[in-house]
């Protein structure tokens, strides 16, 4: 079984994915970490020196490699991954896609302090506007997920993982 966690930057995919994989005793992959390892560079550096196109191509290759694995796996995906190539269709064909949906306000609150490592946001003069624009374009892809988990601002990662476990049971 493969579980793909989908969602906007700052929605908690990596932390929740790790916790979920521990609970289920599944393997855990984080596509951002794998891209960084593969190119031996951090994400801001990749965007700056190689460009977004190379990042997206590498992200796609990483995903394809994961899809061929046979073990039980939780995959935390980068916020843009479902919106490029046929990535969303592939994930839906190979496993359970779960959209971790937070309110725009919660995302903006969090990203205000966490955007230095996120090249699509770090240069924005108007974070709220940029997040709103991106979310509007991406929601179409995210909502192709098989399951949607709505998360309140005050919910702990533990609580979210419990919700996911009930959903996939």
> Which parts of this chain interact with ligand S3P (CB under 6 A)?
9, 13, 32, 43, 78-80, 118-120
Q: 80 by DSSP, 3-state: which? A: coil
DSSP assignment of 110-130? HHTSS-TT-HHHHT-S-HHHH
User: CB-wise, 79 or 95, nearer to ligand S3P?
Assistant: 79
Minimum CB separation of residue 28 from ligand S3P in Å reads 14
- Which tokens sit at 27? 């393997």
Q: DSSP state, 78?
A: P
- Of 54 and 119, the one with the shorter C-beta distance to ligand S3P is 119
Q: Which is nearer to ligand S3P, 80 or 95 (CB)?
A: 80
Distance of CA 29 to the CA centre of its chain: 11
Alpha-carbon distance 47 to 11, whole Å? 21
Q: How far is the CB of 70 from ligand S3P (least distance, A)?
A: 25
* Closest distance to ligand S3P from the beta carbon of 78 (Å): 3
CA dist 156 and 146 (Å) reads: 23
* CB of residue 145 to ligand S3P, shortest distance in Å: 15
Distances (CA, A) of 162 to 4, 13, 150, 168: 16, 14, 13, 10
Smallest separation, CB 120 to ligand S3P (Å): 5
Nearest CB to ligand S3P, comparing residues 111 and 164: 111
Which residue, 78 or 95, is less far from ligand S3P as judged by CB? 78
Q: What is the DSSP letter of 63?
A: H
Specify the DSSP element, H or E, that contains 102: strand 96-102
């Amino acid at each position: 079984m493969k579980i793909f966690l989908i969602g906007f930057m700052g929605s908690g995919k990596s932390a929740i994915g790790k916790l979920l994989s521990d609970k289920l005793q599944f393997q855990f992959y984080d596509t951002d970490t794998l891209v960084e390892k593969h190119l031996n560079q951090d994400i801001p550096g990749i965007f700056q020196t190689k460009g977004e196109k190379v990042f997206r191509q590498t992200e796609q290759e990483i995903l394809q490699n994961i899809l061929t694995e046979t073990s039980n796996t939780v995959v935390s995906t980068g916020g843009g991954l479902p919106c490029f190539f046929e990535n969303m269709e592939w994930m839906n064909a190979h496993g359970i896609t779960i959209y971790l949906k937070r309110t725009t306000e919660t995302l903006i609150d969090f990203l205000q302090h966490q955007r230095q490592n996120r090249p699509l946001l770090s240069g924005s003069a108007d974070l709220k506007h940029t997040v709103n624009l991106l979310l509007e374009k991406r929601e179409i892809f995210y909502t192709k997920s098989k399951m949607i988990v709505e998360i309140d601002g005050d919910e702990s990662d533990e609580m979210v993982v419990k919700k996911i476990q009930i959903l996939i049971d």
